[in-house]
Amino acid sequence: MSRIFTPKVVTANALLEGDVVYLAEDGAWVRRLDEAELIEDEAIAQLRLIDAQSQPDRVVGPYLAEARASQQGPVPGHFREGFRAAGPSNRNHGKQADLTDV
């Protein structure tokens, strides 16, 4: 019996800043999880991951992360991804500081 594929986003860290980044539908790397492409098909997910892995000059350590659909775009599927998307909870100067500016 094959596993049921659950939706994913492609995520990595940016090479220069180390920032958490996500692959958007148009192939751009974006900082916000809600702008990422939510991939619901396993074969497409693998293709997108291969695409990400072919960009070592831009990102480090790409992988597929669990995510769920919402009205506002993808939301994290696990609390670790929630912290990656939001920045550290003890100081408001990580990603969350930038996100509120947007």
Partner 1 sequence: MYDQTEFDRDFLKTRAAQFRQQVARRIDGSLTEEEFRPLRLMNGLYLQLHAYMLRVAIPYGTLNSDQLRTLAMIAERWDKGYGHMTTRQNIQYNWPKLADVPDILDALAEVGMHAVQTSGNTIRNVTADPYAGAAADEIADPRPVAELVRQWSTDHPEFQFLPRKFKIAVTGAEADRAILKVHDIGLQLVERDGVIGARVLVGGGLGRTPLLGEELRDYVSMDELLPYIEAVLAAYNIAGRRDNKYKARIKITLREEGMEALKEQVEARFAERRGIYPNAVAELERIEKGFAKPVYKDAPTVAHFNALTDRGYAEWAETNLVSHANPDYAIVRVSLKGRGATPGDITADQMRALADLADEIGHGEIRVGQDQNLILPHVHRGDLPALRAALEGIALAEANTGLVTDITACPGMDYCTLATARSIPVAQGLADRLRPIERELGQVTIKISGCINACGHHHLGHIGILGLDRAGVETYQITLGGDPSADTALGERTGPGFAYDEVVPAIERILRAYLALRKAPSETFLQAVRRLGTGPFKEALYEEQKDAA
Binding site residues, partner 1, CB under 8 A: 13, 15-20, 56-57, 60-61, 78-80, 83-84, 87-91, 93-95
For residues 36 and 25, what is the distance between their CA atoms, to the nearest angstrom?
7
Is the CB of 6 or the CB of 25 nearer to partner 1? 6
Is the CB of 15 or the CB of 75 nearer to partner 1? 15
Distances (CA, A) of 15 to 48, 55, 70: 18, 10, 29
Residue 39's closest CA among 49, 51, 29, 31? 49
- Least spacing, CB of residue 59 vs partner 1, in Å: 9
Is the CB of 27 or the CB of 88 nearer to partner 1? 88
- Least spacing, CB of residue 68 vs partner 1, in Å: 12
SS3 category, 34: helix
